[in-house]
Structure 1
């Protein structure tokens, strides 16, 4: 009897292992894990997945394109492994998109700290640009260093890659994608921004004679980063900014991502909720000449999966011209 029970248990374990191997296998065996490397400019791990199509492009003498998906664990933790596991799972889910687009997927595993909870790294907030904490300082530059490391690694394997990347994100990572593009448009081929926390950074310094400081606007970008905002470069980046018509997720209600004064300013100037601010944001981007399409989808709330296809189709169009 005991022998039969043991055999049954072993059988279940084997079936579970085979099921897991079938489910996770392609990504598990192909995803590369890069450890944090301070000497190379980044203090967090990242994951890289080369799709079959990207491999074929390289073998045909072409250059593959990187799709960068900023991580968004949705939780504060000083344990780096928490964010690494979440980034790995994010990569697993998004690797299907990489296969559909024939691109190389890069997912960073930036820590969203618990002790210094006001540094909302996953949203690239103001504190992420001003913190003196070495491991979190200027994670926008850390991401650029990761991209360069990835391109060097790909080159060593015979895979040439384009210098500019595709960038996508939703909610906090949508805020990151929007803000990174504004800070470093020269690195971005195109960006798909989903539900960026109730307000995408306005590409203007003032509105109604009031200064708009980051992340409300770009008035103090040069002070924060040491380089001026490049409107021409930002305006030239193809962008889609998507939100569900029933989405009421508003980062301005939380002090980890916004200073109270800045949030109050946006509320007073542009509206107290994401939907009422939407036409104002669209108007400011149009006024600045930015190549951005704002898409509001009726009947959808804060749901990435129901909006993902817009970004995929957008990137397909961009890649068709490469």
Structure 2
């Protein structure tokens, strides 16, 4: 999948958007080692804001899947990227005063079709244990982080915010579908060529994962719990000039998915946007879709501001 967003660009945007914001509060960042016995075989970073004197409100953990932008076999490179994204998130989310979790998941070069950072179909179906079901690893990390935060006297609620942009937006979107019981609200920016649809069929045509949910039970052993998913508020955003379309790249989707989706859902991603919105509405999901005119494949200042407003509304 073609990616144009860089860590430097995001950091510049964050600084531009919040140049007048107060300096980030003090806190500590820890690197948590992998713990296979607890269900996660990769490290993660956890930012713990300093508890305010007399504060009693329970915070919400903010979870941001990592996205390096390209396949790299060296996990150290993914870790470096994840740590950089955490630094950006600490600055951007300063006003919301939330702990932040960023996993360090791999994205292999040799097995490049396994788009781990997007939680693609291959990540659910592969027999390679290093890359299989990374959503379960993230769920375990969340549980571990909640325990650590309780010990630090900075407790968080049982449900988390999930956020992602581009590939990590795809991961966050799909994670929320697979684990709606863990998600308090989700912010999904530019999720590839198509947000996963909360339906099994569209116009009589089956939509398999990740186009839709027709075969999720076959892949994971469990159906999507739409009743619980309807309790999760979603905020989707996309730049009207964003041409980064994962449907036409073989790491994002298989050929048969592209051949089915383009004539059925729309040839361009901006054409598919209202189709996706209508499917979420028909499924009675709490989802807001917003298209930003003149914006391409990057989170703009306005997008960031709207994201923060959305999260603040659902913080408590």
Q: TM-score, normalised by structure 1?
A: 0.88
Matched, 1:265 2:263: no
Structure with more of its chain in helix, by fraction: 1
Greater RCO, 1 or 2 (C-alpha within 8 Å, sep 6+): 2
User: Counterparts of 1:32 and 1:199 in 2: how far apart (Å)?
Assistant: 34
Provide the secondary structure at the position in 2 that maps to 1:243.
strand
Secondary structure class of the residue paired with 2:291? strand
Give 3-state SS (helix, strand or coil) of 2:186's partner: strand
- Alpha-carbon shift at residue 136 of structure 1 (Å): 1.7
SS at match of 1:56: coil
Aligned match for 1:309, one of 305, 308, 312: 305
Between Structure 1 and Structure 2, how many residues are aligned? 293
Using the TM superposition, give the Cα deviation of residue 29 of structure 1 relative to its aligned residue in structure 2, in angstroms. Answer: 7.5
- Structure 2 partner of 1:194: 189
Structure 1: 5+ residue runs without aligned partners? Answer: 1-25
Matches within 5 A, 1:30-179: 30-52=28-50, 55-56=51-52, 60-179=55-174
Asked whether the 8 Å contact 2:165–2:190 carries over to 1, the reply is: yes
Displacement, 1:293?
A: 0.6
| Post-superposition offset of 1:28 | 10
- In structure 2, stretches of 5+ residues that fail to align are 1-23
RMSD across aligned positions (CA): 1.7
Distance across 1 between alignment mates of 2:260 and 2:123: 20
The match for 1:251 is: 246
Higher Cα radius of gyration: 1
Q: CA deviation at 1:63?
A: 1.5
Deviations 1:121-145 (A, max 9, x none): 1100001111122222110010000
Query: Counterpart of 2:140 in 1: which secondary structure?
Result: helix
1:21-52 C-alpha deviation (Å, 9 max, x unpaired): xxxxx899721001122121111111000224
Normalised to the residue count of structure 2, the TM-score between the two structures is 0.89
